[in-house]
Structure 1
Amino acid sequence: MIRTATLSMGVMLSMFLTACDNTAKVPEAQPKAEQSASTSTDTISIGYSDWPGFVAWQVAIEKGWLKEAGLNVDFKWFDYSSSLNAFSANQLDAVLVTNGDNLITSTGGTKGIMIMATDYSAGNDVIIAKDGINSLADLKGKSVATEKGLVDHLLLSTALTDAKIPSADIKLVNSVTNELPQVFASPDISAIAVWQPVANQALKAVAGSKIIYSSKDKPGLIYDTLSVNMTHLSAHKEEWKKVIQVWDKTVKFINDPATHEEAVQIMAKRVGVDPAQYEQFVGGTHLLDLAANKTVFTKGTGFDSIYGSTYHVNKFNVENGIYTAEVDADGLINPALIESLK
């Protein structure tokens, strides 16, 4: 159940920028009796939601690694868009969010500073085509459906640009993501851009259909990040360093063949999915440990750098009317904590 009912790249503006929903159900913090005496008395609240790179935190929660690090962290579970609403309304100290959506929340006044990346999409976002269409070039003159302004519109736009296919050479059909399997079954639609698990539903709905492009073909296009309220970050840098170290431990546990199965079971249980099915979604998510983050947070213009990826999304957001002028992307990326850790 990946990004189900989420709005991942932009047109949720009306939902969380101009009319922030403050009614999101927020779980209560743990009773003080359950908190380790050695943990900080200041509770850090982090919003997380249904994406493997976010659900991975469940491993750290259940293993007790945050408390072991002397941290008192309250992870609050949301639908993705509701987590952004809560962060925008200053109900959270941090939120797990795509780098593109972090740009959008910043235009609403809440400055979220990206201090680390949990992962990048590595196959969970796809372009699916009907039988007879075998490449992006075959899409010329065809109708392609996706939800405009969202993450897979970004994927489609980037793929077409790389293939030197003008966007005007296809007919873009705007469709709600969760309805794309039905839309794809229409004889008028030749391809769709969509994320998992809706992608699997579409593949089953149309015989002979196949994936012709995915986020695996463009590593670093879609980063998922830990974004912290600027004021909270300034006052609690040491605690956030410890959070990053716990994340590094978590990624190593998930990637270790000896403990991978246990980790997937923990993650799958959190979202109510069979572990065997969830394994596919974990495989489509490239988790980033501390060493990988040091590379990603090195300034550059390519997608191997979160800077280059964010510059790219920034331009996409302006070109598609999500906001009117480019955001100061550098001001929302803070590599200092990553750089200070060994």
Structure 2
Amino acid sequence: MNFIFDVRRHFRRTGERFAVVAALAAITLAMMPAPASAQTRAGSVTLRIAYLKGTSDLTLAKAKGSLDKALAGQGVKVVWAGPFPAAAPAFEALNADAVDLTSGSSTSFVTSIAAGVPMAIFGYQPMTARNEAIVVPRDSGIHSLADLAGKQVAVNKGGTGEYLLVRALVKSGIAPDTVKRRYLSPSDTGSAFVGGGVDAWATWDPFLSIAQSSYHARVLADGAAIGSDNAVGYFVRQDYLKAHPEVVKTVLRVLRDENVWTAAHPREAGKIWAAELNLPPALADKLGENNVSPLRAVLPDDVTRIERVARWYVDNRIISTQPDVRSHIATLAD
């Protein structure tokens, strides 16, 4: 029970704590170097990276120091900001020019560029079926998606959670408006899930592994059953990409090297993720199993998948206008 309490305490976020994060971001911004154009004139370059509480190759690169080392060889200083609880606040920091680069989901990317965030995707990593799911308490009477009718499901607005829930319902022929969406950040949802404040939770790793191991969650539908087109993406401000394309190329190269290492050492990667996220070492194997998939530069088929998500978002009234995805794709020639 002490472990469950510690995890709930670690991942719980209230409005006040989000305010603290925002204040810290403002302080960090004030202390950071000038934007990319000014840096170039001054003869020095800084890359400001927002890292998430997530199981990504960016987290590994931070923990191992590989990205700092590679960029230092090019005279680039790396400044890390975070950890951010999910992609949405990291994208907000990117939009405010508080950071230059971050990671997140392709679904959150769609909603962000639809809102006008000046960002481009330069790396694409399909999520595994075990990385995302809709879960319910183990002793819940919910045994099918149809049983969600009239129930409350926790999702993050416009991101992976809302995408997973609505896609699962539509695929199963269930009217989405028959299920109540409760908009919560993933960090807020643990206590609501354990306390009965919601009946189900649409989520991803590491929150999925935490829910299963600590909150006695049962998978109702995983990414494969849902038919998810979601992916992990790596994103950069468009002005930074234009000013420093070689820096972004180096970031992608290092992340791909970490990705190859992860495929060969999933358990070791899981240990690093667990340590970085302040999770018990016992979760290492599960984190490694759930989160190993190839990372690549964005391919034409990947663009098509993102566009399909964007069209689906419009069709299901999650966003009002379909963004021009192709204008937000970073093409990094070797």
TM-score, normalized by the shorter chain, greater than 0.5: yes
Moved more, 55-64 or 86-95: 55-64
Equivalence for 2:94: 87
For residue 65 of structure 2, give the secondary structure of its aligned residue in structure 1.
helix
RMSD of the TM alignment (CA)?
Answer: 3.9
TM-score (norm 2): 0.73
For residue 43 of structure 1, give the secondary structure of its aligned residue in structure 2.
strand
2:170 aligned partner, one-letter code: T
Number of residue equivalences: 303
Q: Which has the higher helix share?
A: 2
What residue ranges of structure 1 are gaps of 5+ in the alignment? 7-14, 31-39
- Please tell me whether residue 153 in structure 1 is matched to residue 162 in structure 2: yes
Equivalence for 1:72: 76
Contact 2:104 2:234 survives alignment (8 Å): yes
Equivalence for 1:37: none
Alpha carbons of structure 1 residues 216 and 282: separation in structure 2 relative to 1, 3 Å: farther
Contact 1:128 1:193 survives alignment (8 Å): yes
Distance 2:197 2:267 in 1: 42
- Please tell me whether residue 247 in structure 1 is matched to residue 251 in structure 2: no
Contact 1:143 1:188 survives alignment (8 Å): no
Q: Could you tell me how far 1:154 is from its partner in structure 2?
A: 0.9
Contact 1:103 1:314 survives alignment (8 Å): no
Q: Could you tell me how far 1:51 is from its partner in structure 2?
A: 0.8
Distance 2:205 2:268 in 1: 22
- Please tell me whether residue 49 in structure 1 is matched to residue 52 in structure 2: yes
TM-score (norm 1): 0.71
Moved more, 245-254 or 177-186: 177-186
Contact 1:116 1:225 survives alignment (8 Å): yes
Distance 2:215 2:129 in 1: 24
Distance 2:192 2:93 in 1: 32
- The 5 Å alignment of 1:1-342 reads 4=11, 23=26, 25=28, 41-53=44-56, 54-62=58-66, 66-67=70-71, 70=74, 72-78=76-82, 79=84, 80=86, 81-118=88-125, 120=127, 122-129=129-136, 130-139=139-148, 141-147=149-155, 148-168=157-177, 170-176=178-184, 177-178=186-187, 180=189, 183-184=192-193, 190-196=199-205, 198-199=207-208, 210-218=218-226, 221-257=229-265, 260-289=266-295, 293=296, 297-300=298-301, 305-313=302-310, 315-316=312-313, 319-321=316-318, 323-334=319-330, 336-337=331-332, 340-341=333-334
Percent identity over paired residues? 16
Distance 1:249 1:167 in 2: 41
For residue 45 of structure 1, give the secondary structure of its aligned residue in structure 2.
strand
Distance 1:119 1:55 in 2: 17
Distance 2:187 2:73 in 1: 40
Q: Could you tell me how far 1:70 is from its partner in structure 2?
A: 3.5
Contact 1:144 1:193 survives alignment (8 Å): no
Q: Could you tell me how far 1:23 is from its partner in structure 2?
A: 1.6
Q: Could you tell me how far 1:84 is from its partner in structure 2?
A: 2.3
